[in-house]
């Protein structure tokens, strides 16, 4: 047994080397030469003897271990996991990892339920513990994957245009296809995940009820309740984590899609331009700019040449006479003969009247079928006829005839006394 403290000291001393190995080789194996080179790179002042000694120290303390039946080496898995945690160098797991654990959870749920039915409390406790362990693992995976996605996103965003587009987004697309989409399907409210948890929750609740009713193994009740809470929590954490991950990846994926679309379109348009010419292809879509300065200036010589050229081709539009049928037929105005109107007027105002009578009112009453303009025509004829006795009012009045409103100083018939004299 190697004392923990001793190992920690070695880890501390060689942390730089380990981090380098970890970054360079990820999870694959490497040779003893690679290890020594790594040490030399980090400690350039050490001589070969010292490097050899330190290499052995790492091997003896099982921080670096040889692969079975090979001269290759690898970082001890437990140390690698620890390093993963320390370096936040997390790799995105597969959705299947989680779904396997969830399936296992469902199986354990059934066993737990069976154990409860036959009142085998040892088994009940055992399964509950295992389930608890699985739930923790799932939660860990969720968080781990969330961190991994954060790393992917940061990598894709960082480091500008130098990196190739393909490479930059490969990880994003993979993360989406391998993890986010299948997971989202799983945690969907109608998905397997949800159904499974509902079932397990029911099973556990039944057991809790059973314990409450029978009073047996009362100490296990709390354990089951905790398990149930943890499963519920796991579900929530999972959904939250997936939502966050999808939110982080989505903009990148959209960007990628749009970029692909633009690149493809640019290639297509350029090929069309090569075939048909720049002006033919782009004239219809080119953005326009205001250019007042140009609008009002004469322009360069070639503009004037172009203008003259278009003048030479100028043709008058031929004037087309309207067809016979297009002309609307003449409608005679429906005005009664003026002499009749005059006679009517004279007859109406022959009788004694003390007050002057408005002319328009007379017209409106006598010829209700006339249009307003026709009525005004008669009005002005009557007004300008100097054989009639009328006078203009000096008060402005609003008059309504044939549905139209007029505002005018109306002419009225003069009181009859005068009129009688003249006649």
Partner 1 sequence: MTMTQINLDALSHLQAINKKLVAGYHICEQDTLMWQELDQQIEAYSALFTALGHDLKHDSRGFYYFASDESTPNMGKISRAIALTIYILIEHFANTGKDPMRALFDEPNDLELMQTLVQLNKHLFDQLEIFSGSDLRKDVYLRMVRLGLAREVENGFMLQAPIHRYIDALMEVNEETFLGEDEQ
Which residues here bind partner 1, judged by CB under 8 A? 160-162, 164-166, 168, 255, 258-259, 261-263, 265-270, 272-274, 276-295, 299-300, 303, 306
What is the nearest approach in angstroms of partner 1 to the Cβ of residue 316? 22
Nearer to partner 1, 283 or 339 (CB): 283
37 phi/psi in degrees, rounded to 5: -60, -40
Nearer to partner 1, 293 or 331 (CB): 293
What's the CA angle centered on 199, arms 195 and 201, to 5 degrees?
115
**Kind and range of the H or E element at 75?**
strand 73-75
Q: How far apart are CA 282 and CA 278, in angstroms?
A: 6
What is the nearest approach in angstroms of partner 1 to the Cβ of residue 160? 6
What is the nearest approach in angstroms of partner 1 to the Cβ of residue 252? 11
Nearer to partner 1, 69 or 288 (CB): 288
**Kind and range of the H or E element at 406?**
strand 404-408
What is the nearest approach in angstroms of partner 1 to the Cβ of residue 284? 4
What is the nearest approach in angstroms of partner 1 to the Cβ of residue 253? 14
Q: How far apart are CA 305 and CA 79, in angstroms?
A: 83
Q: Who's near 14: CB < 8 A, 6+ residues apart? A: 39, 54, 58, 63
Q: How far apart are CA 418 and CA 423, in angstroms?
A: 9
DSSP SS3 for 284: coil
What is the nearest approach in angstroms of partner 1 to the Cβ of residue 151? 19
Q: How far apart are CA 37 and CA 44, in angstroms?
A: 10
Q: DSSP assignment, residue 314?
A: -
Nearer to partner 1, 279 or 421 (CB): 279
Nearer to partner 1, 281 or 402 (CB): 281
Q: DSSP assignment, residue 76?
A: -
């Amino acid at each position: 047994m190697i004392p923990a403290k001793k190992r920690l000291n070695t880890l501390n001393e060689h942390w730089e080397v380990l981090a380098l190995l970890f970054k360079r080789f990820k999870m694959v194996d490497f040779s003893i030469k690679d290890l020594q080179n790594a040490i030399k790179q980090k400690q350039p002042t050490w001589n070969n003897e010292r490097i050899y000694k330190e290499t052995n120290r790492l091997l003896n303390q099982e921080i670096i271990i040889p692969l079975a039946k090979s001269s290759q080496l690898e970082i001890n898995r437990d140390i690698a996991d620890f390093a993963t945690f320390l370096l936040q160098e997390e790799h995105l797991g597969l959705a299947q990892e989680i779904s396997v654990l969830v399936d296992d959870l469902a199986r354990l749920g059934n066993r737990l339920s069976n154990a409860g039915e036959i009142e085998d409390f040892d088994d009940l406790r055992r399964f509950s513990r295992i389930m608890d362990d699985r739930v923790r693992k799932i939660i860990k995976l969720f968080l781990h994957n969330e961190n991994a996605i954060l790393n992917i996103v940061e990598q894709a965003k960082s480091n500008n245009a130098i990196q190739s587009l393909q490479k930059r987004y490969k990880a994003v697309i993979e993360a989406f296809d391998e993890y986010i989409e299948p997971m989202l399907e799983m945690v969907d409210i109608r998905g397997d995940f949800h159904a499974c948890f509902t079932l397990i929750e029911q099973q556990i609740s039944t057991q809790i009820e059973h314990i409450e009713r029978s009073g047996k193994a009362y100490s296990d009740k709390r354990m089951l309740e905790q398990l149930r809470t943890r499963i519920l929590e796991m579900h929530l954490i999972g959904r939250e984590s997936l939502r966050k991950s999808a939110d982080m990846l989505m903009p990148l994926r959209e960007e990628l899609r749009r970029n692909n679309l633009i690149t493809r379109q640019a290639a297509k348009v350029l090929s069309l331009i090569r075939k048909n010419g720049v002006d033919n292809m782009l004239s219809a879509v080119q953005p326009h700019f205001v250019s007042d300065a140009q609008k009002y200036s004469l322009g360069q010589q070639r503009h004037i040449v172009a203008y003259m050229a278009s003048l030479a081709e100028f043709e008058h539009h031929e004037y087309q006479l309207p067809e016979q049928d297009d002309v609307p037929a003449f409608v005679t105005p429906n005005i009664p003969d003026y002499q009749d109107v005059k006679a009517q007027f004279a007859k109406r105002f022959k009788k004694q009247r003390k007050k002057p009578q408005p002319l328009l009112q007379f017209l409106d009453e006598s010829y209700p079928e006339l249009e307003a303009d026709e009525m005004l025509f008669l009005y002005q004829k009557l007004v300008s006829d100097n054989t009639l006795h009328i006078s203009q009012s000096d008060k402005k009045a609003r008059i309504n005839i044939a549905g139209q409103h007029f505002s005018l100083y109306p002419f009225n018939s003069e009181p009859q006394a005068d009129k009688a004299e003249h006649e």
